[in-house]
Structure 1
Amino acid sequence: MSDARIPVTLITGFLGSGKTTLLRKLLVRPELADTAVIVNELGDVGLDHELVETVTDEVTVLTSGCLCCALRQDLVSTLRDLYLKREAGEIPRFARVAVETTGLADPAPVLQTLVADPLVGSFFVLDAVVTCVDAVTGLAALEAHPESVKQAGVADRLLLTKTDLQPDTAALELRLAVLNPGAPRQRVLQGDLDPALVLNQARRPEADRLADLDRWLDAAKDPHRHRHHSDIAAHCLSVEEPLDWTRFTKWLGELLERSGADLLRVKGLIQVAGEARPLLVQGVQHVFHEPQWLEAWPPAAPPYSRLVCIGRNLETASLRAGLDSCRAPTLAEAR
């Protein structure tokens, strides 16, 4: 059964990374004509005057058909109000939402709202996290500002902006590969981007999503990507034997409690004892999506558990030992 909830795309990135330029270009594309955009302050969008058609007390309707509103209270209230106005016919019926965070925002609380809040989760579903990274100042921001690190670490897609000013992005991309090895990196000039790369990601055919997941897990295996002085890195774990689900959830809960905000992201496929299908698990810090059963293992993926943990001061040996302890007992062990 298809998910009827409204998909939400989170657009984040450090100060000056190009979020406003990206939004301005996307809002005039016909693919976004039925999109509601939530920004921290309406003036931050820098909308050209000719784009504005009508303005209500809280919502701006653009000539393209898009809606814009300011995040004046909290995200739950804003999403609720938008949905109620949509259902009452007070604003056009939007089919998706894009949320732009401030450049200094930690994206984790926003993700927590989208994933864990029962009111929001009834009508909206997180589609993807898109992070803009400035090719000129991005490396310095990653070294100096923890918010920038978190924004990159939780991304589903990384957009490299201002590459016309700084074409050589090798050092920046190496740093991003350590932080988030599976997130595809896309160069974006002046905000020009195919909307299909950032919209409706969760509703693509399962085969496409499985291929992306397989690349994400494989990317984390490269040991050269972990050779960096930073205390934040990706750790790839695997167990060939089936896992006991009760043991796994207990271990994961203990890991979340112990690591807290230092655990930026977890993503992987789990082989649960007694099940032929893989189970997709993913979370950001202490907030986890509901586990999802997939129809089949990715074609190129071996049918055993693989998990990637991205975080600060995590010990690979300890993580591996913890996951190993989740193996389901064999018949001989059960006796």
Structure 2
Amino acid sequence: MSQAPHTLIPVTILTGFLGSGKTTLLNRILKENHGLKIAVIENEFGEEGVDNDLLLQNEQENIVEMNNGCLCCTVRGDLVRILGDMAARKKKGEIKFDRVVIETTGMADPGPVAQTFFVDDVVAESYLLDAVITVVDAKHGMQQLDEHREIQQQVGFADRILLSKTDLASADEVQTLKKRLAKMNARAEQMISDHGNAPVAKLLDVKGFNLNSILDIAPDFLDEDKHTHNDEIQSFVFKSTKPFDGQKFEEFMGSVTQVYGPDMLRYKGILSIKGSDRRALFQGVHMLMGLDWGRKWDPADKKESKIVFIGRKLPKEFITQGLELCLAR
């Protein structure tokens, strides 16, 4: 008799600068009666953690059960070890949880945490990275983006951007910030999350790291804007109606990631490849990239390759020209 397929545990990385409202959002998620057993891993470095009044403390195990059945674990050690232990205990039936939310410290670059789910075999066997959610303070966001590289990286990695404290900012301030964030990350949907009021359903099962998910790009992010900022993190889109030569594309992108990988936060695309009637689905994080085949092109489809790049001071012209040379002749 064949075994039932192994179901991977979905993981959400919750990030955002100090004081942006991550913990408020997390407390709301944990208080809500959504029927989900969520295991929260807090990557703590002296920040104020989850509201302790909510917790039923179990000192011995360092895993805390919330009063609605969720679990909470404070990590000061090795994230890989904690994830491995939790998966093993779940398998034995010692603890129950449906999904994991990892709250990173406010000064953290979420990149290394995201890479854990692709690099470590033990983690990859049990978990599936669903999305990076970034909380941005609408009142202080512009200033923080000017002054702190970490928040720029958090924005660049995001699949969803939640704007908090919009009630403390003017409509113009919020709009200006939204435009700036869209230029930095053209593919992250933006939502309002004042006082932790965010639609929980829209934060889970985002499938931001799923090759088959739709490639969302903010349609007007390239519109000229009088508020220009020389942000380190920028996004740009490559488009072509000509198909790629598959081998040339893989060789070129392989060389690009070798040189610029550390500065390439996220890149993702749908490609038309010469000789194939299927869409090629492509994405990467830093130097790790993958290409897979998606569904067939419909006769009504416009066969257009579209790739969005998000990174730190990437050589847009070099990458664009290189991709042009990879198009089939």
User: Which of 153, 165, 171 does residue 162 from structure 1 map onto?
Assistant: 165
Paired amino acid for 2:179:
L
Task: Note if contact 1:35-1:98 (Cα within 8 Å) is conserved in structure 2.
Answer: yes
- 2:136 is aligned with 1:130: no
Paired amino acid for 2:326:
C
| Deviation, structure 1 residue 309 | 1.1
Task: Note if contact 2:236-2:310 (Cα within 8 Å) is conserved in structure 1.
Answer: yes
Q: Sort the Cα spacing of 1:298 and 1:60 in 2 relative to 1 into closer, same or farther, 3 A.
A: farther
Task: Note if contact 2:186-2:308 (Cα within 8 Å) is conserved in structure 1.
Answer: no
Paired amino acid for 2:101:
A
- 2:14 is aligned with 1:20: no
| Deviation, structure 1 residue 233 | 1.8
Structure-to-structure mapping, 1:234-273, within 5 angstroms: 234-273=235-274
| Deviation, structure 1 residue 58 | 1.7
The match for 1:87 is 91
2:109 and 2:256 mapped to 1: Cα distance? 21
Task: Note if contact 1:7-1:96 (Cα within 8 Å) is conserved in structure 2.
Answer: yes
Q: Sort the Cα spacing of 1:64 and 1:301 in 2 relative to 1 into closer, same or farther, 3 A.
A: farther
| Deviation, structure 1 residue 219 | 5.0
* TM-score normalised by structure 2 residue count: 0.88
Does the residue aligned with 1:176 lie in a helix, a strand or coil?
A: helix
The match for 2:115 is 112
Structure 1: state its 5+ residue gaps.
Answer: 330-335
* CA shift digits 1:140-185 (9 cap, x unpaired): 1111111100000110000000111114312211210110022111
Does the residue aligned with 1:65 lie in a helix, a strand or coil?
A: coil
Greater CA deviation, 94-103 or 317-326? 317-326
Task: Note if contact 2:211-2:292 (Cα within 8 Å) is conserved in structure 1.
Answer: no
* CA shift digits 1:47-103 (9 cap, x unpaired): 2424426554221011111011122322211110100111122212x1111111000
Task: Note if contact 1:244-1:272 (Cα within 8 Å) is conserved in structure 2.
Answer: yes
- 2:235 is aligned with 1:230: no
The match for 1:325 is 325
Paired amino acid for 2:175:
A
Paired amino acid for 1:49:
D
* CA shift digits 1:82-140 (9 cap, x unpaired): 00111122212x11111110000011101110122222111111101100001111111
The match for 1:144 is 147
- 2:56 is aligned with 1:52: yes
Q: Sort the Cα spacing of 1:300 and 1:136 in 2 relative to 1 into closer, same or farther, 3 A.
A: farther
Does the residue aligned with 1:142 lie in a helix, a strand or coil?
A: helix
Structure 2: state its 5+ residue gaps.
Answer: none
Q: Sort the Cα spacing of 1:299 and 1:111 in 2 relative to 1 into closer, same or farther, 3 A.
A: farther
